[in-house]
Structure 1
């Protein structure tokens, strides 16, 4: 078995498939961004199946929604309104108040600003302007309200529009590698007015980063760097201020990198020698981060985020407000369609940007994180290789369907492990890459096996198309194992056909003429044999050896062999009538053939050596058929069949030829002359002939000849033309 495998096509298939798999693996590892859309597809689906539960959220969104704009006017509102909003939230007990917006320009509704916009020709312009300037400044009012509350302001990345730096309020320290080379860089900052920022308790960026591959928010940079300073995101800063407000103690961030353990430490070995951020700590909270300080978002359904209309905050009582925001982090943002701050989450929900910050704070406080560990790509690569090689190795032995079932079972296991890692531990282990690579290996190996099998079929068709019928050839192509070296015992029918008086005929023909004659004779006779589902065993000079019921089963093989023999006689008669061989002018006479047919057990298979063999049949059945063909010369009958053949095809027209002593046989064999087909057997003339022939041995010699002549005359329309010639 092993020797047969490694002498065949299997080593080439395994080598080619394994090589392609390794090349694909190397390419995917060197270009990981190519796999990110596929990974997003899987991990998004996991979150959609099992989103985070945020029903007990400690965050409330103060929403500048459509009803608020309808009640208070278009945005932006006067900063005095925002001051009142801030004071109310503070008095209601909000642990932190974070604004998801930037106030980078002075309030255009401030009295002093309006004084400068009075028409020059206005009556009492100076007096009116003086009165306006004497009124409280809105920005000052807002700054005062900010200073009295745990407020957090935002800034965003200027994208190179300015090189200004944001004010750094939060303390950020780190262990290990310098963070400025690892974090996402800020290209300048656009911040609120200095008077506002200087009054705030916290300052955080609201960048979504540049790592998005589509419009779906999956990850945010929780920390970013500019000019040696490290800034937290607005959500992280709001949480820090809330902790500080609740405890009365100053809190700061601690970031840990892979080189925190120094050379030779466990962290060094775990990272594989590359610097990366691993986590951040804030008070009792530990936050796993990506290598560049990002946070993978684990979303809760949007309807679990608490929204409170800004108009209700401004118009309701502080007591009622305390029930909704007391002890919670209040995020002030906008959901009104005209303000264009709508984002798409992994759950395929459109939410305002401020809701993203709420999701970040929620998952940090819950400790529900998603983490793609450093070892995940390596583990996925190893799994992909093992699974691919297993399928490649199994395909030649299991077949396409069994290997597909094996691959499906492996796929279910891989998917189950990946889902278990996500649902129980929040680990992002990609099952799709190993499955796609193994699927590629499956199709590639199947294609190669098909190509080799197709080459085998072409070889079989080329080798056997001249010897067996097309329908048998097709079935043989589907089961090439039937051609294995060795034999099997089958019930078969064997035919021998030989040209009468071939030796004197060949003496009158040149070698070229002899070859042409044999081709013109044997070609149509071979076609007849194949048409009746027979297989040509070999050509022996002017003779044909054929057999039925191998290599594939042939129903009624004895009858088909007999009908083929009758049709072969008719074909030779027609060839003679139209002088197809050109013998008439040369006085060579008509061509005659003799056929012997025997049915019985035979050993059939590829006989020979492992490098050169013939598909043939051997056994006593073959010997009997050969001897019957030789006996046609002595009896004058064109077709002689054995008793077993006559029994296998009982509906045909047979005449008993008695028992003949066949050469090489110790006992005489019961032999029959095949006289015609079923129609001939059913004719009244043939039936009288059969009775007469059976009575011939008992008739006087004078009556025997007349009886035979009369019967032949009556049966002549039904007898084979050759039968009358040899009667």
Structure 2
């Protein structure tokens, strides 16, 4: 909350607020105030007629009379008449002052300006000499305790003729722009005197409204004017200032004098500014010519120059229409900032960097859009600068900390697992380190066991060094194929390999990947094993529910799979030697891959340790293989025909069909096995209740 107490975000918040005023402009909702400008045109007009600045007070007398007769509700002079008028050719300064004084007395609705300066003490007599300088005893808890000295005030007789007087002092911020004003200033604790716009507002109110400093602002009658924490009033700008399409209508001073003189000569004359222009209006008269030094810098100055009188008009318009800038309480800003500073680190800790950045940006954009909407429709100002700065700082710090912490963890994971599992698994572990925790989950996966049959003959024919080299080459080739097909190598047991698909990264086609990997491994084994040997690989594949996860102790564990499906795959691998097959798959696997691969049924099999039979198939070839599969397809057809005869107890017809298969596929293991089985059944037929199920006696 340091930003609240030190104001370190003030400059940024002011710039954002200035932009909101410039780009989210509002029309004047009251249409009550008009401005009479002492502009370059007026100076030039009177210069041509021999009247140079400063003009005689008679000009203001003529203007006041005309405005009063036109029905103006208030006539406000943002001009300091702090010295008596001087004599000019054929014009007496004293007589000019008297005429202006008489005009003010007749109008009884004028307000004159004075100026004060902060000082250690004030002239108490000055307050008492000016009845129009109404000083208010508000309450002693007000924010403006620094005493002011009256440095420029109307000459006494002028001040005695006006209804009220108001202060024109304005203090700019550090960057030179006027954004706030004091609605009242203290006169050495003798009371509070209002700014020019507040004096006009008090005159518009009936009676003597109650004035009291409140926690939420300044109470004026039954209304509360919101103030900032330091007591300043934040001006609500409407649209750009100036003559052309500005907030308030501008009229040249010389046009009023012309109109007044023409009307005095002929009441029916058509004049540049008829009385209807000012009827029931609040008229503020001030200088806009650059040479007169009353041009102020405001947030709207980049659009158009702002004379001091237009600033007073804007403040008065705010007060009349209650068009105030309001702010949420400091505690609410503190809560939002706290949520950002606490929430963003939590968000970064539990989300991916890109997601965390997106959500953080989304939150900041939401704050920005909310701030824009609240300001545009209700003129509620949320100082979003601190939220943006602290949001960016908090995100950057949290992201940097998480990055270095994760890099340390990633390095540890890569070192521990990079050589043993597929790269996808390493990435998964890096993204989800919780996978390293002990435990498992039930998932539908495909598992594969492979074994190198005839390895004993290879080991007997090679010295130990060559045998180790061959084994490493063989296991490396098998592992690469598994990795190429997104599998996870579970373990090596001698020359045997266990792998599974569908975890840790979910794969809908895990059965297909396992079968395609097996086909490639069969091809690779044929390339690697010596010719004229009985060395070949056998594979068992099963699909189903199993437990997958880190199994072991906290000191040593393995990412592996467990369950009946895993045991079935191991039994199928071993069962191949009974059928002379190379790759045996379960029925669940077959149902998932039968459209992609050439398969044939092997048997209804009860594996050792089980009582229920399972239908098993041989995985033969990939249907997308570039090799000609015509002979294989024909052999598969003949094989199925033989199998049908077998189950119908047509032993001789089955033998004939299976022998036709061996003509196409010499040494076809399953066909030779069924020929042998049929010959046995011819000699010793199975019982009448034979169901074709084969019971495997060995693992």
TM-score (normalised: structure 1):
0.63
In the alignment, which residue of structure 2 is the partner of 1:55?
A: 31
In the alignment, which residue of structure 2 is the partner of 1:21?
A: none
In the alignment, which residue of structure 2 is the partner of 1:545?
A: 498
Q: Secondary structure at the match of 1:148?
A: helix
Q: Secondary structure at the match of 2:9?
A: helix
**2:529/2:536 contact within 8 Å kept:** no
Q: CA 1:174–1:254 in 2, change beyond 3 Å: closer, same or farther?
A: farther
Deviation by residue 1:505-547 (Cα, 9 ceiling, x = unmatched) = 399766x877655433211210111222322122223321112
Q: CA 1:515–1:78 in 2, change beyond 3 Å: closer, same or farther?
A: same
In the alignment, which residue of structure 1 is the partner of 2:172?
A: 210
In the alignment, which residue of structure 1 is the partner of 2:235?
A: 297
Candidates 361, 376, 384, aligned match of 1:432: 384
**1:396/1:449 contact within 8 Å kept:** no
**2:3/2:386 contact within 8 Å kept:** no
Q: Secondary structure at the match of 1:82?
A: coil
Q: Secondary structure at the match of 2:544?
A: strand
Query: 1:629 Cα deviation (Å)?
Result: 3.3
**1:13-162 alignment, distance < 5 Å:** 26-32=1-7, 34-35=9-10, 37-38=12-13, 41=16, 45=20, 48=24, 53-57=29-33, 60-73=34-47, 77-78=51-52, 81-92=55-66, 93=68, 98-102=76-80, 110-111=87-88, 136-138=91-93, 140-150=94-104, 154=113
Alpha-carbon separation, structure 2, partners of 1:242 and 1:672: 102
**1:604/1:615 contact within 8 Å kept:** no
Q: CA 1:333–1:406 in 2, change beyond 3 Å: closer, same or farther?
A: closer
Does 2:627 match 1:684? no
**2:287/2:294 contact within 8 Å kept:** yes
Query: 1:145 Cα deviation (Å)?
Result: 3.5
**1:125-524 alignment, distance < 5 Å:** 136-138=91-93, 140-150=94-104, 154=113, 169=130, 170-174=133-137, 177=140, 182-183=145-146, 189=151, 191=152, 201=162, 204-211=166-173, 213=175, 215=177, 217-224=178-185, 232=193, 235-236=196-197, 239=200, 279=218, 294-299=232-237, 305-317=248-260, 330-336=283-289, 339=292, 341-343=294-296, 350-364=305-319, 366=320, 368=322, 370=324, 376-385=329-338, 423=378, 428=380, 430=382, 432=384, 436=388, 447=399, 470=423, 485-490=439-444, 492-498=446-452, 500-502=454-456, 505=459, 516-524=469-477
Does 2:485 match 1:532? yes
Q: CA 1:380–1:39 in 2, change beyond 3 Å: closer, same or farther?
A: farther
Alpha-carbon separation, structure 2, partners of 1:707 and 1:74: 127
In the alignment, which residue of structure 1 is the partner of 2:558?
A: 614
**1:550/1:604 contact within 8 Å kept:** no
Query: 1:51 Cα deviation (Å)?
Result: 5.3
**1:298/1:368 contact within 8 Å kept:** no
Query: 1:443 Cα deviation (Å)?
Result: 5.2
CA RMSD in angstroms comes to 6.0
Deviation by residue 1:394-415 (Cα, 9 ceiling, x = unmatched) = 8989996997899699969976
In the alignment, which residue of structure 2 is the partner of 1:595?
A: 538
Query: 1:603 Cα deviation (Å)?
Result: 0.8
**2:56/2:96 contact within 8 Å kept:** yes
Query: 1:291 Cα deviation (Å)?
Result: 6.1
Query: 1:501 Cα deviation (Å)?
Result: 3.5
Query: 1:597 Cα deviation (Å)?
Result: 1.6
**2:58/2:99 contact within 8 Å kept:** yes
**2:317/2:323 contact within 8 Å kept:** no
Deviation by residue 1:82-139 (Cα, 9 ceiling, x = unmatched) = 32222224444378755434578898x955xxxxxxxxxxxxxxxxxxxx7xx5544x
Q: Secondary structure at the match of 2:31?
A: coil
Does 2:518 match 1:565? yes
Query: 1:677 Cα deviation (Å)?
Result: 4.9
Query: 1:503 Cα deviation (Å)?
Result: 9.7
Bigger share in helix:
1
Query: 1:570 Cα deviation (Å)?
Result: 3.6
**2:529/2:535 contact within 8 Å kept:** no
Candidates 617, 621, 626, aligned match of 2:570: 626
Q: CA 1:182–1:39 in 2, change beyond 3 Å: closer, same or farther?
A: same
Deviation by residue 1:674-714 (Cα, 9 ceiling, x = unmatched) = 565546672438846985999799799xx999999965679
Q: Secondary structure at the match of 1:357?
A: helix
Alpha-carbon separation, structure 2, partners of 1:293 and 1:685: 95
Aligned length: 618
Alpha-carbon separation, structure 1, partners of 2:280 and 2:603: 118
Query: 1:483 Cα deviation (Å)?
Result: 8.3
Deviation by residue 1:270-329 (Cα, 9 ceiling, x = unmatched) = 69xxxxxx6486x99986655666433344566564544322332334677776667876
